[in-house]
Amino acid sequence: MSGNGNFCNWTDKRKREELGQQSAMFGGQRKQEEAHPQRYQGKESACFKLTETCLLLLHRGDITKWTVDGHTDAIVNAANERLLGGGGVDGAIHRAAGPDLLKACRQFPKVSRGIRCPVGSARITRGFNLPVSRIIHTVGPVYDMEEDPESKLADAYRSSLNITRENEVKYIAFPAISCGIYGYPYEEAAAVSLTTVRDSIKDLKEVHFVLFEMPAWEAWLEKANELFEQI
């Protein structure tokens, strides 16, 4: 009986040691996964060294599906001045986020008649039904209606980046702001966006562009290859 008892104690001890090793292994795996957040995979993707401390990632895909960790990530909505939803990426984001997004947007005070977010400025809301923590709403210029559309577009990117610092955002994804119905040529928009982001980021770990249309993807990819080292 005593021999059987010693055997049971030894096997129990061995099982506890094995369980402890497995727990440590899986705990280390979880820590590694937390340290290396999941990557959104579009139909096509490319990665570049934006700065010494920040990566640039380009994707062809759907920005409403993009996420990194759900806590420190944000997508940018190419909104209109009323912040009431619209067509293109604006409408897609509102549909995916759900009706509470519109309610939140209505809470922003009007700075002039009907305008909650002037061209070049930005506002921020929760992500609601989207997989990201925040949505940053910015308004780009209508290409043919602005005397200096380049400066207004750069302002939209800078305003979006500035608001990340106040909200502990470390990962951000942009669409092709002002392209589409606002008429900004893809090649020009890509140049403005990438140089502005490069010159304006501070605390971000990654900047993503999620581009739905093939011409936008091609324009951003070509410009990124001119400006940055692909990794």
pLDDT band at 40 (very low <50, low <70, confident <90, very high): confident
Residue 4 pLDDT greater than 60, yes or no? no
Rounded distance, CA 141 to CA 52, Å?
31
Residue 208 pLDDT greater than 60, yes or no? yes
User: What percent of the chain shows pLDDT beyond 70?
Assistant: 83
Mean pLDDT of 122-144: 98
Give strand pairing partners of 66: none
List Cβ neighbours of 82 (8 Å cut-off, separation of 6 or more).
114, 115, 116
Residue 78: predicted pLDDT: 98
Q: Is 61 exposed, middle or buried (0-12, 13-18, 19+ CB in 10 A)?
A: middle
Residue 202 pLDDT greater than 50, yes or no? yes
pLDDT band at 39 (very low <50, low <70, confident <90, very high): low
Distance of CA 208 to the CA centre of its chain: 6
Residue 129: predicted pLDDT: 98
Residue 42: predicted pLDDT: 84
List Cβ neighbours of 185 (8 Å cut-off, separation of 6 or more).
143, 179
Mean pLDDT of 94-105: 98
Mean pLDDT of 190-198: 98
- pTM, entire model: 0.83
End-to-end Cα distance, the chain: 65
Residue 41: predicted pLDDT: 80
